[in-house]
Each structure stands twice: as C-alpha cells, then as structure tokens.
Structure 1
Amino acid sequence: MSDPVPHTAPGGPRAAPGAAPEGTLDARYSGPGATPADWAVAQRRLEEAELFWLSSVRPDGRPHATPLMAVWRDGALYFSTGAEERKALNLAGNPQVVLSTGTPVRNEGYDVAVEGEAVRVADLALLRALAADWLRKYGEDWRFEVRDDGAFQGREGPALVFAVEPRTVFGFGKGAFSQTRWRFA
C-alpha cells in the first residue's frame, strides 16, 4: 500500500554562511496557527542543552544511538569520543550523523535535531578553546588537557573531538505543536 502523503518536507531557503537561517514551517506536522520558530530559539537550546543523542550508522548498516555531552561554538556542535568507541568506529565508515536534544515529555518543551557531517578537529588552538567550553559547561569532571596529537586527554584516556556543522536543523515545538526546518549553505 502506498502512502498518499509524501514524507519529504519542503526545501525552504538556505542560509548564507554566517547568516541566521530562515525557518520554514511544515504545516503537516504543525497545529493550526503555528508559525516558524526563530533560529535564536533553536540555537539557545543547542547552547544550553546538557545532553544530546548522537545517531550514527554501524559499518554493517545497523543504526546506533548513544547519549553524550556536546558544546555549541561558532555555528557547530562539538563532541568527543575515544578512538576505539563505537561512535568513532561508526564515523570512520560514515560521518553522517544526527545530534538531537530536547525534553522527554509530549506536551511541553522544544526538541532540536541537527543533521550534518562529523569532522575530526585537530587544530590545537580550537581544541584548547573547546576544552575551556567543556569545563565551563560541565564542571571539573569534564576537564580536558589538549594533547600535541590533536586529541583531548581526560581521566578516561584520550578522546577524539568532532565538529558537526548543521546542514539541516529541525525544531519540534510541543504543546502548541510545530515543526520548523532550517537549512544551511
């Protein structure tokens, strides 16, 4: 049986580099009178969220999801993982990911999902700035030193750092339901 409703959301405009993207409302998943959310709403959620879920693909094609901490800096989400952890092994074969955050209730809050490519960060100056961001956001348990080989060093050992610049971001308003899509250049 074929589904009469297409599942692809309207394309919407793409943001120019450095510009705030314009949100496009998907009326199929939004309540009456809903309007697109402002990008500042989604960006604030990304800055303030303490926990994210990373969805990636295992080498055999099966999905994998795991919670992790991340920081938002200069238009990208950053996360870390050990080189031999499932996350890093998945990214070696397929760097396309989704990072999502939100509330675990149906009728309140705002959820955000970021689609993009996870790219390894090795720039030592950026890693030092990110280590300071992690410490400021998560406290002493998440203190990292920056190694000369371009990795974090924490209590659990070395960790690779990845950046995800958004390609597409979805925002899901709950209670007054809405779905906004932002596209980036």
Structure 2
Amino acid sequence: MTTGSIDLRFGDPAATAPAWTDVERVLARAELYWLTTVRTDGRPHTTPLVGVWHDGAFAFCTGVGEQKHANLEHAPLVTVTTGRNTWRSGTDVVVEGAAERVTGAERLWPLADAWLLKYGQDWAWEADDEGFTSGDGSQPRVYVVRPAKVIAFGKSPHSQTTYRF
C-alpha cells in the first residue's frame, strides 16, 4: 500500500494526507491531462492531451511527427498533471516519471479498450505490435509513465502530499 507524506510547510496544519486510492481516483477520472517533456535544447514543452490511468500508470499516445514524440526520443523524463482550475475545491495531481514506449498487440489492446471505455467512439483505437491504428491511417505511439513520485495538492483544506514509489 502506498502512503503519502504530507508537507505541513505548504498547507493547513489540520490537513491530512489523502489515501492513495483517492489520488488514483482523481487520475483515473480526469478527462484532460497536461504532459511536460523536454526539447533537445533543454526547454520544456507542455501540451494538453487525453490519456488513461491503467494498472498503476498513466498511458498516452502521440503521433510520430509531434513535438512530444521528438522530445521523448532523447529524454524520457516527464511530468503529467491534472486537476481542477479552482482555488477552493478539488485536488491537483502531478506525476513524475519516465515515459516508456509500449509495443506488442497483447499489451496495447487492453490500453485501446481503456481509451474506448473512457472516451467512447471519439478515441476508438485498434492495436498492432507498433502502436494504435485507426481508419485514417495514423499510427500513434503509445507510452506509459509509471510514477516515481506523485504530489497531490488538496484545496479544502490546502495541503501538499508526496507519494514515492
């Protein structure tokens, strides 16, 4: 079981660390995430994207011609964020880890099914050994980010809790 460590310097002294299952619920239910990768010159690149929390990791896909794909070719370390754009309610979550490419149809089909379940026909993928496929001929590459560190920012009361893996 994963237990968080609350940092009382950054919140209400009455705050308590949320259970890891509550943080995972935020990650699983989010519709939109922000992925930050690093360009070859060291500048950050942040973009919104859809994804799924599946088997304890964040999964996303990207086209071969996209900036995030080029960035991942040289630097796999990323952050993934999600939450609510509010001050007094909700929980914001930051996942730190390395993006690892997923290959093999047997590993990709469960992720394609997870996308379909979460987003419906807008994100209905097929899978082969290299990545996802679709009727338009695109073949996005699929990555998973297994967390090395997760920070959950509570807002009512304000708190900061770190989970290490």
Interval of TM-score (by shorter of Structure 1 and Structure 2): over 0.9
Letter in 1 for 2:42: G
Q: CA deviation at 1:56?
A: 0.9
Q: Deviations over 1:18-70 (max 9, x none)?
A: xx211000111111211111101110011111110001111111111000111
Question: Equivalent of 2:56, from 61, 75, 79?
Answer: 75
Between the two proteins, the alignment pairs up a number of residues equal to 164
Question: Equivalent of 1:97, from 78, 83, 107?
Answer: 78
Mark the structure with the bigger radius of gyration: 1
Q: TM-score, normalised by structure 2?
A: 0.96
Q: CA deviation at 1:83?
A: 1.0
Give the whole-Å Cα distance in 2 for the aligned partners of 1:129 and 1:38: 26
Give the whole-Å Cα distance in 2 for the aligned partners of 1:133 and 1:40: 19
Q: Percent identity?
A: 45
Gaps of 5+ in 1: 1-19
Gaps of 5+ in 2: none
Q: After TM superposition, list the pairs within 5 Å mapping 1:1-185 onto structure 2.
A: 20-148=1-129, 150-154=130-134, 155=136, 157-184=138-165
Q: CA deviation at 1:156?
A: 6.7
Secondary structure of the structure 2 residue equivalent to 1:157: coil
Give the whole-Å Cα distance in 1 for the aligned partners of 2:15 and 2:157: 7
Give the whole-Å Cα distance in 2 for the aligned partners of 1:96 and 1:44: 23
Give the whole-Å Cα distance in 1 for the aligned partners of 2:98 and 2:152: 19
Give the whole-Å Cα distance in 2 for the aligned partners of 1:136 and 1:37: 27
Q: TM-score, normalised by structure 1?
A: 0.86
